[in-house]
Structure 1
């Protein structure tokens, strides 16, 4: 988001997210859709919410996403993604929009190297963008990392095999304050919960639950 806001080529006009129709959560990240709404309110941007059934095929995902975007009342001609690596997901997204006039933008795209990812992580922290680790993959991280602030102390303690930006699914974050927020989101951490996802492979996740609100 910071890169797109600073861009002289693009103007950010809105946000888009998909979420589980049955659980009202953003898939994998386990972010409640109402908290994504708070982020949009904090940025004073319209949010397009696209409902998805659980465990949909790529074809159903594509059709549902494109239909939602086609019916959005906000005029736009490009969509930006936060992917870092060309490890299949970038190509998937490009193919998804190949038959449309929508441009895919990847402002963070780099070579798949830990040092480059660590530099982006430092930039995020120093901006400063404040976030917590909302969910972690227990295959890669210890339980104490769940709910921790995404800061320099956390980065220094990550195992060498873990991508500093969590780009390989090691963890997912929730941003609660940033320069592009008009006001910070107040958070209060509560309980943690284990969840299992089957996203091509089984993933055992630990999720930090929390209460969130705007002042």
Structure 2
């Protein structure tokens, strides 16, 4: 299971665990080796590992540079998948919903090394998925928002019905376009919730790789707000 630790991968795993034809055996996550955090979500590696322990599945961590090229990303991901394939695993599950180009990329890259991709919640209506998420008792905190879509007040909030109601009309309610990312701290298949506390809010900007060596500001650069989550008591 491609595991980000957020809402969509958590729901994808829920459906995969209930599907007779699917038998999730591993979690796989990409992390930023410079910061020691989940790529894009900014969640500390120790919280990711706490999720894996509560789910009861082994976790494969793929460590990447802060701004990896596609070549480095594909090399390290292929190495991790080759190791899993040696143990008999050749299917990767994803929590993607609607982005057809991303699905096509995943399927093509996996087919190249003899794998297949499955998408347990593909094209499920957003309202249905969110209702399921809340009704089943999933609990999550919004840990990252794109400044292009949301202001910093949305970062660090509980992902609940109030959060969804407060989203601007232009924002996908499931955050499918990268508007926000979350950290699931309780789920129906967790052995127990993960106790966390909110730390500081941080703003980070990123350049597109093509502009990384330019002196001029990058017009395609993106800014994000992160809520630093810590294990409770630290």
Calculate the TM-score normalised by the size of structure 1: 0.91
Calculate the TM-score normalised by the size of structure 2: 0.84
Structure 1 residue runs of 4+, over 4 Å off?
A: none
Partner of 2:40, secondary structure, is coil
Contact 1:138 1:204 in 2 (8 A): yes
Gaps spanning 5+ residues in structure 2: where? 1-12, 210-219
One of 181, 198, 206 as aligned partner of 2:190: 181
Contact 2:26 2:58 in 1 (8 A): yes
> Which has the larger displacement, 116-125 or 17-26?
116-125
Instruction: State how 1:21-100 maps to structure 2 within 5 Å.
Output: 21-72=33-84, 74-100=87-113
Distance in 2 (CA, whole Å) between partners of 1:31 and 1:94 is: 27
Contact 1:77 1:103 in 2 (8 A): yes
Q: How many Å apart are 1:75 and its aligned residue?
A: 3.5
**Is the counterpart of residue 204 in structure 1 residue 216 in structure 2?**
no
Distance in 2 (CA, whole Å) between partners of 1:160 and 1:32 is: 31
Gaps spanning 5+ residues in structure 1: where? none
Which structure has the highest helix share of the two? 2
The Cα RMSD (Å) is 1.8
Partner of 1:98, secondary structure, is helix
Distance in 2 (CA, whole Å) between partners of 1:110 and 1:50 is: 28
Comparing both chains, which one has the higher relative contact order based on Cα–Cα distances under 8 Å and sequence gaps of 6 or more? 2
**Is the counterpart of residue 138 in structure 1 residue 147 in structure 2?**
yes
Partner of 2:54, secondary structure, is helix
Contact 1:21 1:52 in 2 (8 A): yes
Distance in 2 (CA, whole Å) between partners of 1:82 and 1:123 is: 14
Q: What do residues 22-45 of structure 1 show as CA deviations (whole Å, max 9, x unaligned)?
A: 111222111122211111011111
Which structure has the highest strand share of the two? 1
